[in-house]
Structure 1
Amino acid sequence: MKFILKYFKIIIFFIVTVNVSVAQNDNSLKRIDSVKTILKTLKPSDSLNIAKQNYVVGEYYRKLLNTDSAYVYFQKAEKVFKQYNLKYETAITMFGIAVCQTYDKDYTGSETTSFQALALLESLNPINKVRQYKAYIYNNLGILFGELEQFDEAIKYHNIGLDLKKGLKGDYVRSIGLSENNLANIYITLGDYDTAIKQYETILANKELLDRYPGVKVLAMGNYAQALDLANKHDRLPGLYLKAIKLSDSINDTYDAIVIHQRLAEFYHKKGIIDSAKYYAYKAKNLSEFYNNDDMLKSLLLVSKIEHGEISRKYLLEYIALSDSLYKSEREKRDKFARIKFETEAIEKENIEKEKVVRFLFSLSVIILIIAVLIYLFLKQREKNKVLQFKQSQQESNEEIYNLMLTQNLNIEEARAQEKRRISQELHDGILGRLFGTRLSLDSLNFNTGDEAVQTRSQYISELKNIEEDIRKVSHELNTDFVSGGGFKDIIHNLIESKSAIYNLKYTFNHYTEINWDNVSNKTKIHIYRIIQESLHNIYKHANATQVNISFNLKKDVICITMEDDGAGFDVSKVKSGIGLKNIKSRILEINGTITINSKKNKGTSVTLEAPLIS
């Protein structure tokens, strides 16, 4: 009676499971039909949009585990994405293909496709969606290397994928939980049950994960129970298995329930509880018929081990037949994908040839453009040279005029000096001599003894002495050339005053030490004049200043000129010398001088010129 009730439960569960699975598949198929309808409305010229819709259909088929159809649509999308050089779209399509290859046990092909997709993603900016798919690809690599029993590689890639997922922005709680579960499964396969148990306990302690995604809890609980079983820690068994099955029933998670039923059957079989072992083994077999063929294989082999006699033989033969069929199917799929890959590579070669032509045309265009630019620059430079030559000739003319002006000014100053010396001589030799004679005559009257006469003569004599002293003082001052060299200072002052007025600048002009400009060559004075003129122009043009301070000083026969402004300033180490600054440096070298420029942004500029008094 108990046996009949158990099998009655299996039939009821089987009916419910089939209905849920059919409903889920119907929903996905409706979505596929909807996208296919959209594809029919698109024009052939809209190849990029068609490729995107093909990718969507491929994803739906992949999630339905229909890898044949997924391959077809992914391959169509991949061709177009590569033609348009859309690296991200190509990479995620290749990820879909790699997952299908892993499902079909084409692990070598999946490895190659995964690394090709990773190479494309590595060439892109590491934005969130790029890192997301890198994490998915590393997870796939972890799974396939686990199937290839290269467990160190599997652990490495699972950990890389986990680290990437933990750094993503968004809700990846479920994805992280699944990756942690996959990593723990590797430790079970390695026989490191303690590490696996700790990993599962960490997952099951994540309340947010389990509350939001009970499907992950089913998976983790079933695997945790298996790790305890293999570690011979049976205190919580079969309770954990039964809880996992109950939870999977409550959320209609029949796919994960297959493995839990298989493991529970194996648990009861080891314990010698054959009825329970058969119950859960048959339950797993019935569920497997609607899902993964690998699970069906495992279920058939499990039933053949638990059953006896003809029944065991029957299921073993079914297992062998299905295994052969699956091997043949997997080989055909690998061959089919190899053909698809060959066609894709042929298209890639064609695209490479097209790219070569495009590159050649582009290179030719660049060369032509460079030649055109060089010709333009040559003509432009020739025009600039003409302008510079004109400016140079104009400057030479200006210097000649200025030289004449200085010479004329010196002649005037010389004439003034001569006139002053003439007046001085006239005062000294003429008026002073006559006054001296008058004084002597008055002295001779001193012999008149009248009191009144004596007093009067004394007053006149005293007055004459005063006049004599005044005239002597005037004569001395006139004989001193007090305007000697002052003409050039006045010229500089006039220059600063006129330019400051034009440039709307306030200025100060200080001549701290009197310099005998007569001892300075005209060449030096011309260059100093032009340097100050150019500096004022640069201050107006570049500094945006309101105040300029100019000072002259003489230190050990070296003329020191300082020009300071309160303008914007600049970084001396980075700014290239313009024509104005080059002219200033050239002029200062002409008179064996030096120039020092100190400037800071927003703190003004100070220019110090030093030139020898006699160059």
Structure 2
Amino acid sequence: MKKAAEISFLFLVCLTFLIGCGGEGSKKLPVTPEPGSAGHYYLLGLDTADIEAKLELYNKGLAAVKDKKDSSLVALLDGKIYAYSRLGIEDSVDFWIDSLISAAEFQGDLFYMAKGYYRKSWSFRKVNPEEQFRTAYYSRNLYLKYGDSALAGRRSLDMANAQLGYGDYAGSQESAIEALKFLDEERDPHYVSSAYNVLGLSYGEQRLYSEALKEYQNALKYAVDRKDSLSYLHNIALLYKNQENYSEATRIFREIINSDEASESSQIRFRDNYAFMRWLQDSTCKADKVMLKALEQRQEIGDREGTLASYSHLSDFYRNKDPELSRFYAKRYLEVAKSLSNPAAEVEALSRLIPLTEGKEEDEYVERYLFLSDSLKEANVRLKYQFAKIRFDEERKEQQINLLKAENLTQTLRSEKLRTSNIIASLTALVILLFSVGLYYYFRQRGRKEKVKQIYRTESRISRRIHDELANDIYHVMSSLEPVAPSPMIDKLERIYQRTRDFSRENSEIVTGAEFLKGLLNMLSGTVPAGTKLIIRGEDTINWNKLEAEKKIVVYRVLQEMVVNMKKHSQAKLVALVFSKEGKQIKISYSDNGVGAEQKVLENGNGIKNLKDRLKTIKGNAIFETAEKGVKAEFFIPFKS
């Protein structure tokens, strides 16, 4: 039973690793990488079935990595480790696994940290069961932190396999049950069936046969292919054999022994165990031919683990029939066990050799047997407790880390509370300051607006008095003198009267509501003298309804001032006004083809000074330039649309 269980266990572990390599895969890169980049070579490697070509592409990708933060670095390292494992290159695998773990820790990538410890656990499978278990445990915890319970379940299954292989059956059951809690029956049936198989092997080793049979049947229920089913049926047959229920064991062996779905090594194992079982059932059965054929086939395919079982069976078969031949196979059993560094198998071989040997050689075998037996017992006891201690120590370490995190969080919360109090005090002071600045700005703006309105009201009042009083008085004087005064005097009075009316109109009230643009255009067309062509563009592109009233007044007066000055001094035949929106300003471009003026005279004229003073009240600006003919100007009015 023990040898059969070991073979089934090795089959399970190998199959789990191969599926782990391909099935767990890697995280996909978020974007399509550029040709020649590290990510590009990684994707090419993923799409390549040839392992050597895959390794070459991954090496090119690693050479193309320019930054340790490149997410494709960890994927390439993991791919290289997988390729090395498939090619049987084990010398430098440990170095690349450590490189993967370091790179993943640097990038804070929990997925590849967990993957690295999984790879490390696999590398320890034959040399250090404690580290195999510990690193599988690390990987499991990291997958849980990453949020992938399925992968955490697979690592719990790895822990169960490590414990099973070294006789910690109770611990193996605990880890396998934990794996079943994490695994999803629909998404991970292979791993679910493997976990039940581990439970069956654990119960079987403890001679709890009915419990073992239940778990094997569960394993069969979730088996994903015929190969797995055959392996589980084989274990059930061995279970019945150990219970000496040979008829049921024979029935199962007949079902599986000639199955085409089984691998070559599995078919050999089935035939060898079936022949050995029939001999146990009937000592007259000539089973040695089948067992010798199995040994020959195992040697041909290089199945060294399988040859252990063949030598064990043949030594037992010939023990009473041909002691010398039995001793020969027991010696071969011992030689292969030593070459595989398998002390448990070596003890089994010695137990067969001692009764068949005499003298000094027997004493040597006995001494070696006692030494190995004591060592194995001590190691098994130590490992059983060591596995539990590893789990306990790591869980306690996690608790301590969580406690430190909690203390740090409490301290952080205190610091944050103090910081929050300081921030609140600072914000309160800032709010008061901003409120004060805002209040100052508001009153300042209101003062500017009030200044514009005051100027406007003053101009309107003067306009009304000129119109109602001065113009009317001049008109009455002119009317009373018309019968007696000479015509030149009457003409002079007429001109004075017209100038008074013009001045009144220039300072008349302005409509600042929805009719503003219409009033502005009427003013401009009415002010330009006959014979001067006025061109206006872009006025409809401005949303005048959103311009404040005081700014409308300034726009109106500035343009009025420009066309009045043009009328008085320019003698222009063409005047152009272009309105446009530039950022948060209205831009008004003015140009005419009049006589122009020197820049110095233009800048220092009272009219231009008054115009600029108006613009300053609303934070506007004006730029003038002159040439040999004409005047050009640009006016900028702040405007928040």
Q: TM-score, normalised by structure 2?
A: 0.47
Q: Which has the larger radius of gyration?
A: 1
